[in-house]
Amino acid sequence: MKVRKAVIPAAGLGTRVLPASKAVPKEMLPIVDKPAIQYIVEEAVASGIEDILIITNRGKSLIEDHFDHAPELEEKLLSSGKQKLYDDVVSLAHLANIQYVRQKETRGLGHAVWCAKSFVGNEPFAVLYGDDVIISKTPATGELIGVYEKYGKSVVGIKPVATELLPSYCTLGVKPVEGKTYDVFDMIEKPLPEEIISNFAILGRCVLTPDIFELIEKTPPSRNGEVQLTDAMREIAHRGGMMGIEYTGTRYDMGNKLGILQAIVEVGLEHPEIGGAFREYLKSMAATL
Ligand code: UTP
């Protein structure tokens, strides 16, 4: 079955980027001139996704406004002849068919995905974590969908992570299959150092089959009280139904301060409008360090 739907969980509290994320959702923090979540929606669309559900919560209405018309602004841009800006702003309201649902309590990523149950129905679907931006010519979600279509199994997007960082991510048991594709036979969320299986961790993307919802319902909250998506996916891995692909793009963690800066610097350097001037500025700055 074709993967047509995507879920973007964006209901976390973003405590690692406070105070910036107090009133502005971290998914709306900009990388140069676009909020993080716009890169993510664009990746989904470039991957062939038609319907998107964004999981929000109180105080995230800015996300809905961003993907809606802004009549006063549009009129002003048009009447002052700013056609390019007008086109950019208007196109945001037509990027995809986007719906929203609120996660009423912040009970973890697993619970956020569970909130998409009736939207997803009985189809495979992609999950794009709302604070993980992946910059790539080949959209990462599209690479995962390719693996799903070939093997008919759930797929996680994976990358090697430095050993000292693994306890804040997860660790995967993997067996190579072909190229950058692996069989994933185990996964442990936020492992203790002695639990580390490999340096591969799930970073920001997965394609799941709808049996995940029943597994989430059976998943008890973890040590921090949140229902972890990894704990539910682990069951699929144990049943032999999980693959992983080391996707090609570069992933930026917009949920932490250093990740935000890295994204801004690297995207800024490639930016058609300010890239050249920014490069010169960075060089002069670097010379003083
Ligand atoms: P994170 O664990 O990185 O987000 O979740 P967080 O809870 O906001 O982070 P900190 O630790 O407080 O800084 C990954 C993604 O899942 C969403 C987040 O918005 C983020 O995009 N999420 C997380 C939810 O939608 N609901 C939740 O209950 C938790």
Task: List % helix, strand, coil for the chain (3-state, nearest 5).
Answer: 40, 25, 35
Look at residue 99 in the predicted model and tell me its pLDDT: 97
Q: Is the CB of 55 under 6 A from ligand 1?
A: yes
Q: Which residues, in sequence order, are bridge partners of residue 5?
A: 51, 125
Q: Which residue in the block uniquely carries the two structure tokens 């996964």?
A: 187
**β-bridge pairing 5-9 and 125-128:** parallel
Q: What letter would DSSP give residue 166?
A: G
Q: What pLDDT was estimated at residue 242?
A: 98
How far apart, in whole angstroms, are the C-alpha atoms of residue 198 and residue 282? 36
Ligand 1 contact, 279 CB (< 6 A)? no
Residue 38 and residue 59: Cα distance in Å, rounded? Answer: 18
Rounded CA-CA distance 35/25 in Å is: 10
Helix, coil or strand: residue 87: helix
Please, which residues have CB within 8 angstroms of residue 214's CB and are 6 or more apart in sequence?
A: none
Ligand 1 site-directed mutation target among 55, 131, 168, 252, most atoms within 8 Å of CB: 131
Residue 12: which H helix or E strand, with range? none
pLDDT of 6 > 80? The answer is yes
Pocket test for ligand 1, best of 7, 8, 13 (most atoms within 8 A of CB): 13
Q: How far apart are CA 160 and CA 69, in angstroms?
A: 40
The Cα 278–Cα 261 span in angstroms is 14
Fold (topology level) of 5-286: Spore Coat Polysaccharide Biosynthesis Protein SpsA; Chain A (3.90.550)
Query: Degrees (nearest 5) of the Cα angle 37, 39, 43?
Result: 115
Regarding the beta carbon of 20 and ligand 1, being less than 6 Å apart is answered no
Q: Is the pLDDT assigned to residue 206 strictly greater than 80?
A: yes
Query: pLDDT, tens digit, for every residue of 221-264?
Result: 988 899 999 999 999 999 999 999 999 999 999 999 999 999 99
Q: What is the pLDDT of residues 33-62, one digit of tens each?
A: 999 999 999 999 999 999 999 999 887 789
3-state secondary structure of 89: helix
For residue 35, cis peptide bond before it (omega within 30 degrees of 0): no
For residues 70 and 78, is the Cβ–Cβ distance under 8 A? no
Token pair of 80, please? 């002052």
pTM: 0.96
Contact 125, 213 (CB under 8 A): no
Q: Are 92 and 46 in contact (CB under 8 A)?
A: no
Cα(54)–Cα(125) distance, rounded to whole angstroms? 13
Give the integer Cα–Cα distance in Å for 162 and 280: 31
Q: How far is residue 91 from each of residues 39, 70, 96, 210, measured CA to CA in Å?
A: 14, 11, 10, 31
- How does pLDDT run across 109-118, given as a tens digit for each residue? 999 999 999 9
